[in-house]
Amino acid sequence: MKLNRIHQFKLPTAALGADINPAGDALLASCFDGVYRVNPAEGQPTKIGEHESYASGVAWIDDQQYVTSGYDGQIFWWHSDKKDPIRKIQAHDFWSWDLARSPDRKWLASCTGQYLAGSYKYEPAGEVEPSIKIYDVADGQLHAELSLQPSVHTVSFSPDSQKLCAANLMGEVKVWDVATKQELATWKTDDFTSWGIIKSHCYIGGIHASVFHPSGDRVIVAGMGPMRDPMAGNGKQRWQEYAWQEQPSRKVKETKSDQAGEGLMEALAVHPNGRWFAMGGRLRGGNWNVAIFDLESGDLLTSAKTGYRITDATFIEATGQLLLVGTQGQPSKLNRSGEFSDFGRVEVYDFSESDDS
């Protein structure tokens, strides 16, 4: 198997989230300066909305409606033929780190949380607000408030839309029943979190992405393996898969030691064929910052070095192509035109398969 880049273009600012319609011709990207829409094959983005701070998440509801979240803690509902949001909700007092829409398009989940020192030892303080909230897509009504030690960086729905997973800085993972709000599973892994003993006395790292296995009975989480000096950012590119329904939840498999380098992994996506998944993020050391893995064996099938930090990844339903968004640095000086250079990135990859892939 080989990844072949077929489209690439820039956005004015860093993209933190993305969603694309099933046909693959309408990409929404949530960026530092707002929300953009573009056909990936054409690469001419148009700005269609803003938040009061960075736009951190975006999701299509249907062909005409979409939702966005931001570091202003708000969730906006939009209609493509209207300039302003048709609904605004102050979901959090702090940032919305991640936004997820259920596959049946009935629910939205957003997570938040600020890492504040709980004492002079710098262990994280408890919640000052519920870390996870679930809203009804149709009317914006609050359905559930769920608790997890902040900060919580990822939320994801199961394929049947009936379960929600969330994970935090400390490597804690929980699964809830969406309808009943009942906590179904909770476990903790120390493989993603580091205590800074050299340059900073705090916890750094954590789980930054999660996704359910197509079967629904397993969860994959991703981040960066622990390290002695977290400020170096040289932890292992790591994913782990858990059988969450077992008591206790059991780690099934993880990144194989000879198939990964160093860097924070921030994006996970399962291919429509249910056989592969993608993981991407920031490269610190090694040969790749995006890779495709076999869901059954966990083997790395193919990889690429993009040259920029990947913040979100998704597969286009109609084509199976891989869509990546991210940022290549952040300019501090104006260019010759008196503007900042574009530093958001979008790429689309196709696959060429060998006979045994």
**Amino acid 122: pLDDT:** 78
Token pair in block for residue 57: 């998440």
Handedness of CA 111, 249, 195, 232 (dihedral sign): negative
DSSP state letters, 22-62:
TTSS-EEEEETTEEEEE-TTT---EEEE--SS-EEEEEESS
Q: How many residues does the chain have?
A: 357
pLDDT tens-digit readout, 89-126: 999 999 999 999 999 999 999 999 998 888 877 788 99
The three-class DSSP label of residue 347 is: strand
Q: What is the pTM of this model?
A: 0.95
Pick the closest to residue 170 from 193, 197, 198 (CA basis).
Answer: 193
Instruction: Give residue 298's identity as a one-letter amino acid code.
Output: G
Lowest mean pLDDT, pick from 29-33, 104-108, 194-198, 260-264: 194-198
Q: In whole angstroms, what is the distance from residue 96 CA to residue 113 CA? A: 8
Residue type at position 17: G
Domains of the chain (ranges; CATH) run 2-332+342-352 (2.130.10.10)
For the chain, report the end-to-end CA distance as a whole number of angstroms.
6
Please give the pLDDT value at position 197: 64
Q: What are phi and psi of 184, to 5 degrees?
A: -100, -30
Q: What is the mean pLDDT of residues 289-294?
A: 98
pLDDT value of position 58: 98
Backbone angles phi, psi at 259, to 5 degrees: -120, 15
pLDDT at site 193: 86
Nearest residue to 205 (alpha-carbon basis) of 254, 266, 256 = 266
Pairing of strands 27-31, 15-20: antiparallel
Is the pLDDT at 2 greater than 90? The verdict is yes
